[in-house]
Amino acid sequence: MARLLVLRSAPYHRSSLSAAAAATSSRSASFPRLSRRHLPSLLRVPVRAVESSSGATKQEEAPLAAGEAQEPLPAAPAFVVEELGWGTQLAVKLKMLVAPPWKRVRKGSVLTMTLRGEISDQLKTRFSSGLSLPQICENFEKAAYDPRISGIYLHIEPLSCGWGKAEEIRRHIVDFKKSGKFVVGYMPVGGEKEYYLASACAELYAPPSAYVALYGLTIQQTFLRGVLEKVGVQPEIQRIGRYKSAGDQLGRKSMSNEVKEMLGALLDNIYGNWLDTVSSTHGKKKEEIEEFVNSGVYQVERLKKEGWITDLLYDDQVMTMLKERVGQNDKKSLRMIDYSKYSRVRKSTLGIGGGGDLIAVIRASGSITRTRSGLSVSSSGIIAEQLIKKIRTVRESEKYKAVILRIDSPGGDALASDLMWREIRLLAESKPVVASMSDVAASGGYYMAMAAPVIVAEKLTLTGSIGVITGKFILQKLYERIDFNKEILSRGRYAELNAADQRLLRPDEAELFEKSAQNAYASFRDKAAMSRSMSIDQMETVAQGRVWSGQDAASRGLVDSLGGFSQALAIAKQRAKIPQDKKVRLVEISKASPTLPEILSGIGGSILGVDRVVKGVLQDVTSLNGVQARMDGILFERLENMPGENQLFLLVKEITNYFG
């Protein structure tokens, strides 16, 4: 009888931190335990600093729980292989026999997955379009020990996700190979990010006419200030933080020196990590890989010759090869199961479902708003009032032993971020909370994460950006140009501060406008200092709106550990006093039910002919009303692979929404 093996995911953990990071990790991994007497202080904004006996300013802290500060974060190998007992093996076979038709998998099947376009960090319903990172990773894990799956055939095409998700997927490819099953990659089109994933496959094929361009990496910023001036629009932007680039595309004509420094450091991190990973994969020196890239690689034949890909084959040729490998020469076509169908197979069917203690998973993905807008759908971002309800439900329940807060957000409304920060702090008083950050957890996204006792990030997660932005448009010249008149009657010295767009701000209004933004920044910075057990002066050196990579954030005390979801799970187990080898059941708190638009979209591909990308833009763009804790760049990232006409169309849409 064939034996079934369980490949249990164990957390990824960096081998070491710098001395400074290690010291920070041991300090900030613990969370200030708050008694009732400390709760009123949380309501004061900003958090106040107090004077020490030496006269130096220090951050007011609640006492730590005994022993927590010295407890090291867990580290474990990527995979632990266990043999299932005979009883479990029998149960698995019976479950497979009685599985409904839509969940059945024929023996000897090859799992096929196409990684292309956007990848959401949220779980998807069966009617939702697009890819889901949790489901991609779970499919790798299930296939690793599913006796019906012979291997994986992975199509990799242009991706719109960030480097954090790419790292998570790559780790799962590497882990899957430890099962002894094959994983074959096929890449007809791709650049550095796609090759980063593809290079983890045991074999990589491309068609002879493939478009594979490895030229290096770029970061771009677009500036509209000159365009707005030509049409008579004057942006009045308050960016608090020397590195805060949100609003620059409206308020500046060129990149500031501080932003160049910040983006240059991020680019160095991403490119350096890419060179390190690819050189390690090929067993070459980093300098050799960089020299190869700098030589201008565009001929796919050269990639084969240099060993970057296995061979040049068309898709049908690869499938014919796989038929021979799995012993299906007598079959007309390769026996396959696709990503969508395999996502319906439950882990419990394979004998690897969790049991025992429950750990809640709360996912927060997208731009942050306080309430649902008219354009919102269930998957259109983080709606604070809804997420707070879920947080309170988990806090009030005694069945959850710990919580993993999974964040993938560039930020948004500062007030909404603060309200969620408060609820996460209260949640952490009742049970262990670990924040796990995906592609980005910056500005409002980091605001949420810093409320957790422990923060885990990928090496290339974009994080930090502790700063705020607010602004309005002065349309005086535009109104004069089109002979439009607007008059306002008001009572109160500053009543027209947000209403009057037909004139310049008075000096006293401009002063109040700036002070309001400064106050919001001080609140954010001071709470970050308290949350991370730093002095305000220490926090100021890493704040100022600067975006850090996960690895740089770790060395500066903004992040406690590097890794993905499995690393966060290991830490959650540790904090909940659950043995690492004990199974737990993950409960997805934020799993959404399909809405009618999603069902129609999944069936018909579009609703009323409205383009999916345009709908996404309309939902993501936030007006400048109110204070925003937002990182720049997410919207314009989407324009990379779109025709020029659509770029112009979306640009007009964006300006229109800002005006609205």
Phi and psi angles of residue 408, each rounded to the nearest 5 degrees, phi first: -145, 85
DSSP letter for 231, please.
T
| Contact yes or no for 176/5 (Cβ under 8 A) | no
The whole-angstrom separation of Cα 95 and Cα 347 is 11
The whole-angstrom separation of Cα 641 and Cα 529 is 40
Q: Is the preceding omega at residue 46 within 30 degrees of 0, hence cis?
A: yes
Count CA within 13 A, CB hemisphere, residue 194: 29
The whole-angstrom separation of Cα 486 and Cα 280 is 65
10 Å CB burial of residue 386 (0-12, 13-18, 19+) is middle
SS3 365: strand
Contacts of 403 (CB under 8 A, 6+ apart): 359, 360, 361, 362, 394, 427, 431, 432, 433, 434, 572
Phi and psi angles of residue 78, each rounded to the nearest 5 degrees, phi first: -65, -35
**Token pair of 616 as six digits:** 């996404």
Strand-pairing partners, residue 7, are 81
| Contact yes or no for 286/182 (Cβ under 8 A) | no
The kind and range of the H/E element at 357 are none
Amino acid at position 459, single letter? K
Query: Which residue in 159, 232, 168, 311 sits closest to 479, CA to CA?
Result: 232
The residue annotated as part of the active site, out of 109, 380, 409, 443, is 443
244 tagged catalytic = yes
10 Å CB burial of residue 536 (0-12, 13-18, 19+) is buried
The kind and range of the H/E element at 504 are none
Torsion of CA 148, 153, 155, 159, to 10 degrees: 60
| Contact yes or no for 560/544 (Cβ under 8 A) | no
Work out the angle at residue 23's Cα, subtended by the Cα atoms of residues 19 and 24, and round it to the nearest 5 degrees.
115
DSSP strand pairing (358-365 vs 585-588): parallel
**Token pair of 307 as six digits:** 């060993």
Length of the chain: 660
Q: CA distances (Å), 36 to each of 18, 65, 89, 571, 575, in order?
A: 37, 15, 51, 26, 22
The kind and range of the H/E element at 342 are helix 339-342
**Token pair of 477 as six digits:** 């010249």
The whole-angstrom separation of Cα 127 and Cα 616 is 17
10 Å CB burial of residue 256 (0-12, 13-18, 19+) is middle
The whole-angstrom separation of Cα 429 and Cα 479 is 54
The residue annotated as part of the active site, out of 244, 323, 431, 573, is 244
3-state helix, strand, coil in the chain (%, to 5): 40, 20, 40
583 tagged catalytic = no
Cβ count within 10 A of residue 120: 21
Alpha carbon 341 to its chain centroid, in Å, reads 25
The whole-angstrom separation of Cα 451 and Cα 326 is 50
- Quickly list H helices, 351-404: 384-396
Radius of gyration of the chain (CA): 26
Q: Which residues does the annotation mark as catalytic?
A: 244, 443
